[in-house]
Structures are given as C-alpha cells and as structure tokens.
Structure 1
Amino acid sequence: MVTIYDIAAKANVSAMTVSRVINNTGRISEKTKAKVKKVMEEMNYVPNQMARSLVLQQTRILFLLITDITNPFYTTLSRGAEDAATKNGYRLLFGNSDENLEKEAGYMNTILTTRVDGVLIAPTGDPSLPHLEQLRLHNIPFVLLDREVPGIECDIVLGDSKEGARQLVDQLASQGHQHIALVNGSSSVSSARMRRLGYEEALKLNGLPLHEERVFETSFGPRSDLTELDAWISSLDPMPSAIVAGNNVLAVEVIGLLRKRGLRIPDDISIVCFDDFGPYSEIDPFITVVAQQAYQFGYMGMQMLIDRIQNREDAGPWKKIVLPAELVVRSSVKRLLD
C-alpha cells in the first residue's frame, strides 16, 4: 500500500507537506501542490479516509433519512439531495423509516455510531422530537424536510401544504362538486395537519359544508391492510362526488378500492391528490394533483445542511424555506356544472 511517506520521498517534500496537500490545509505553493498531486496520481495513491477524518474531525459523509422510498416524491427528493452532496464533495448514506417511529429510532443509532457530519431528515411526525434532541445533544447538524416538529428549532424546507389543499378543493368546487371527502395522513404529522386546514378553509370559502364523517386519517405510507380505509368508504352514505387524497400513495390505494366496487374515475367519482407521480404522471388515471418541487426539497435541504456544517461558528439564524406547489389539472375530475 502506498503511504504519504512514499509520496513524500518521490516528490522530494516532507510527509507533513503531503498531508497538507491531501487535507487542503496550511500554506503551500501552487507549484508544490501540483507536484505532489501529480506524484499521487502516478502512484495511484488512495487517502486513508478514517485517518483523515480523525485529523479533520469530519467524515465527509452525510445521512438522508426519508419516510417512504416507494413514493415518487421521496425518490425525486433523494436525487436532489444526492446531487447537492456530490457537488460539494460529500458521500451520502440512506435510510427509509416507512413512517415507523421504531425504525426511525434504529436509524438514529446508526447515525450516531457512524459519525456522519450531518443529517437531512423527513421525520415520521411529532413523536420524532426525542430523536432530533438526540442529534442536537451529540452536536450533529440536521435539516428537516417536508415536516415540522413542535419543540425543535432548526433549518427546514417545507411545501405549502395548506395552500395546496385549498387549490385542490377550489378546483373541485369550480367544477360543481359540493360533497368532497378527504383521505389524509395522521394528525401527528405537520403536513397532514396543514392539508386538513386548507381543505376545511376552502370548503368554508366555497360555501360548502364540513362533515367530520367525510374525513379519514391514516398513515401517509403504503400498507398491506386496507381494511379500515375500505370500511370508511363503505360508511359514506351518500357517496361524495369527489375525494381529496393527502398524497399520491393514498390516492392509489383509494382508487384501487373504488375500482373494486365497480366505480369509474371520473365518471362515477372524481379524485385529486397531493404530490405528482414522477415519471408515471402521464399514465392513466391522469390524476389532477398539486405537484411539489420534490427535487428542490432535496437539493436545497442538502445545501442548507452543508452550509450549516461548514459554517458552524457563523451560520446565522435558523432558516425556513417554503416551496410553493403547482396545481396540475388533468382528467380525474368530472365537471358537474351544465
């Protein structure tokens, strides 16, 4: 194995000079840097990352923890985060909590023992607070994505969930729909709370009634057992003319259950949802959505994290970025007006 002493001997410099070139520290002339780097290339030298991390107190490794890798929103978000990390010279480790607090706790232990430089995390919900406090206790910088957690102040990138839900209800109301139901995520998740608030406000502004029995709360993530959701649909009497789904995973599950009942979309019932379907957006059933800037969530969140890591002493106040969503009208809504 080639060592820094081998490099130093061939370049006719000290081992300390080679170390400074590798770690980009100290004052070294550009001519000497170029000479050392050329010798490193000729000898196929690979730096010892563990030793380097001990010297610099940095691993150049970051961790991305999301809640549902099957959701196109999060896969696109992950691409943005990876691109930003790579651009800045960081490697990215990855975890998927499946909206499960215990699984999230397991990843927290991995994060603490791996000695990553920082964490980009979409928390499972409000109960994630102790996990975030653990990161802060161990002085690990983190940035939240998509969801706020009461009780913790930090950098965060959010979507405008309230306004997005209002746009969906407004679109339905503009087409004559007066009986609109909501299938949403858990109230322990901030984005779900804001989407319900936007739904309720839009009903009120459009002069439409709010019926509690037309609101169903569940997990945002996929599930194998749809018994409760199916039972809720069965309880709707009369059946609403339209359903707002809190995200695209819920929309797919609802559509599947409706089709099992022989209901056609949009002929028999209309459906709209939060989040687009990635590369599958143009394939039937052409759902009307509020599309979030998934790539920018990941890219901007990762850039905020790296800025916080590289400027620990002078990073300034916590930053909050709210990205607007875009209403994309397709053909999953039936027009009821003459």
Structure 2
Amino acid sequence: MSRDKPGSPVTLLDIANDLGLSRATVSLVLRNSPRISEATRERVLEAFKRKGYVYNRHAAGMRSNQTHTVGVVVNDLANPYFTMLVRAIEASLSTQGFITLLGNTDESLERQSRFLDTVRQHNIDGLIVCPTESTTAAQMRQVLAWGIPCVFASRYVANLQADYVGVDNRRGMALATSHLIGLGHRRIAMIGGVMRASTGSDRAEGYREALRTAKIKLDERLIVPSPLTRSDGKRIITELLRLKNPPTAVVCGNDIVAFGVMLGLRAHGIEPGTDFGVVGFDDVPEAGLWEPPLTTVQVLQDEIGQTAADLLLKRMTEPSRTPTRIVSEPVLIVRGTCGARAKA
C-alpha cells in the first residue's frame, strides 16, 4: 500500500508500487546497477523527481557500513591555492559517487580536532587532511587509529607514516632564491609562512640552502615568518625597507604574500621587477594577471588534489597497503617581477 499522505516521506516501496516494479529493482537503480535496462532506469529516475524522493544516506550507511562521504579539511580557504585544491579533490571524488564534507581550520588546532571528531561521528568513508600548523604526529596517529582511510595533502606531519601527496617545497624555494642570486642579488629576504608547518619549514630550509651554496652569509633579520596574507606582505616589506642595509629582492611564502609585497613596494615608489626582485610560490591563477606578472614557483594544485583523491580511493580498497609518499618536482615560472639585476 502506498503511503502518499501529505508530509509523509516517499519510500522506495512507494516508487515501486507507482511503477509496478519490485522494490529490489528500484533499489538497484539507486545503486546504479548495470543489471537495470536504460528504459527502466529512466522511468525510475523520473519517478524519483516527480514524487520528490529523498535518499536517506544515513540509513543506507547503517545498512552497508558506507556513506559515500569524505571529509576534507584545509587550513585557509581564503587562499586561492586551497580553493583550487579542494575543487580538484571534490571533482575527482564526485565521479566515483562520493560527497565531500569540507572543513576550514584557519590554523586552529581546536577547529581541526572538532571537525575530525564530527565527521567521524557521521561514519565517513575517508579523510583528506592538510594539517594545521603545530599538528603533532601523536595527534594524527590517534586519527589514523580510528581506522578511517586518510591521506595528507600539501602538508605532511613529521615522524608520521601515512599517505601523502605534495610538492618538493625545499627544492622550490631553493630554485627561487638561486634565480635571484643569479641576477646579482645578495640581500634577499624571505617573507611569510610559519615554521610550525611542513611547508614553511621546508621552504625556509630551501632558502638557506641556496644561500649556503652561493656562499652568502645568512642574515636572520631577513627571514620574517608571518601569516600568508597581502596585508602582512605589505607590512613586512615596509619594515624591511627601513633597515640600514635593506634587501634588494624577496622570496615569499606564497603568491598572496608576494602581491602584498608588490603593493608595499609601490607605496614607497619602488617598482617590482625594475627596482626590486619579487618571487612568489604556488602560481595561483592571479599571478599571471598582475602587472608585471609575478615570477613564482609553480605548484599544480589540480594535480595534487586529483592525486590525493586517487590515493584515498586506493587506501579504501587496500587498507593495509604500505603508505605512499608522492612528491612532485616544482617548476620556476619566470615572469616580470624579478627581471632587474641588483644595482651595484
């Protein structure tokens, strides 16, 4: 008997009775089974729409122990790098029938912990995590102990054996710094990033490595960690220009900081690329649109996101497989902001 009463939820049995089919047939359509003919599939899908059937994902998850949901947590959605990363992850997982639940920590350990605890309660099938700064191996081992398939993207956690996909940040920053050295710069600052995150510490080590290779003495005053924002880039370059012996070029923790640096330089009548060298990191879409276009280290956000999704799917099907670490090679994209040689 159909239960088409006002306010009553439409059930699979209601759909089946309406079409003169078995409930099992309707259920197979819902699961996209190849055993169902295209004509029957279209009839059922049209009935779903007409009668307003809503799939009860929680109930289905209780029956099958799967919810087809994946939690994705990043640390700064205001940064276009993460927007592109999440978009690639969501697009890749969507093709496999997964829904993405998104969390943004703003570098808060408390928010990260709350999000992970919450999605765990919703019986998610997997996790992709870009860990917030100061995340420890002990904290993430506890998450891995839940038995939920988990992949780390863009940032890794030291001393933790887990699936990871990202770029060689140390190599990337060494390339950027060496390029400026090759243009004759000797007073090169590094602005932005936090040393409590793998990206920040690795990029800082790449900067130091390039200076050591060129036998340039490190001046710790020229390394200025900060949040990765335009305002911080503008503020810090203003402070560095006040030094008795200011820098002639800068490598930045990301492109957003570099945009702030360029604004700060122009506020002081200094033209990026002509009077001062600037290099960013990430190659977000906006980087090539500035005037002059920003020289930067290319990180393929789409590729990292898709690879992270693929790695998670493999972990779901092979829970005991050895952790995989995929690190791509960075590429320096030379544009207009570092074109000038250092003035003698």
What interval of TM-score do these two structures reach, taking the shorter chain for normalisation?
0.7 to 0.9
Q: Which runs of 5+ in 1 are unaligned?
A: none
SS at match of 2:322: coil
Q: For the residues of structure 1 that align with 2:306 and 2:173, how far apart are their CA atoms?
A: 24
Structure 1 counterpart SS, 2:73: strand
Equivalent position of 1:159 in the other structure: 167
Equivalent-residue separation in structure 1 for 2:130 and 2:150 (angstroms): 10
The equivalences for 1:62-81 within 5 A come to 62-81=70-89
State the match for 1:147 in structure 2: 155
In the alignment, residue 13 of structure 2 is paired with which amino acid?
Y
Q: Give the TM-score normalised by the residue count of structure 2.
A: 0.85
Q: Aligned AA for 2:103?
A: G
Instruction: Give the corresponding residue for 2:182.
Output: 174
Q: Which has the higher contact order (CA 8 A, sep 6+)?
A: 1
Provide the residue aligned with 2:98 in structure 1.
Answer: 90
Correspondent of 1:296 among 282, 297, 303: 303
Query: Equivalents in 2 of 1:270, 1:102: separation in Å?
Result: 38
CA distance in 2, matches of 1:78, 1:156: 15
* TM-score normalized by the length of structure 1: 0.86
The residue correspondences of 1:254-273 to structure 2 (distance < 5 A) are 254-273=261-280
Aligned counterparts of 2:261 and 2:43: Cα–Cα separation in 1 = 62
Find out whether 1:229 has 2:239 as its counterpart. no
Q: Cα offset for 1:74?
A: 1.2
Q: Which residue of the partner structure matches residue 325 of structure 2?
A: 320
Q: Greater shift after overlay, 64-73 or 286-295?
A: 64-73
Deviates more, 1:153-162 or 1:247-256: 247-256
Contact 2:238 2:265 in 1 (8 A): no
Q: 1:49 to 1:41 in 2, by over 3 A?
A: same
Equivalents in 1 of 2:43, 2:342: separation in Å? Answer: 74
- Cα 1:40–1:231 change in 2 (3 A) is same
In structure 2, the partner of 1:189 is 197
User: Residue 281 of structure 1 aligns to a residue in which SS?
Assistant: helix
1:105-120 correspondence to structure 2 within 5 Å? 105-120=113-128
Q: Is the 8 A contact 1:53 1:59 kept in 2?
A: yes
Question: How far apart are residue 131 of structure 1 and its match?
Answer: 4.4
Which residue is 1:48 aligned to?
56
Which blocks of at least 5 consecutive residues in structure 2 are unaligned?
A: 1-8
Can you list the C-alpha shifts for 1:225-255, whole angstroms capped at 9, x where unaligned? 7898368525633011111111112222333
When structure 1 is superposed on structure 2, of 44-53 and 168-177 the one drifting more is 44-53
Distance 1:118 1:205 in 2: 43
Structure 2 partner of 1:332: 337
- Other structure's SS at 1:119 match: strand
Partner of 1:5: 13
Distance 1:76 1:42 in 2: 34
CA contact (8 A) 1:2 1:43 kept: no
Identity over the aligned pairs, expressed in percent?
A: 28
1:285 Cα shift? 3.8
Distance 1:257 1:228 in 2: 7
**Residue 59 of structure 1 aligns with which residue?**
67
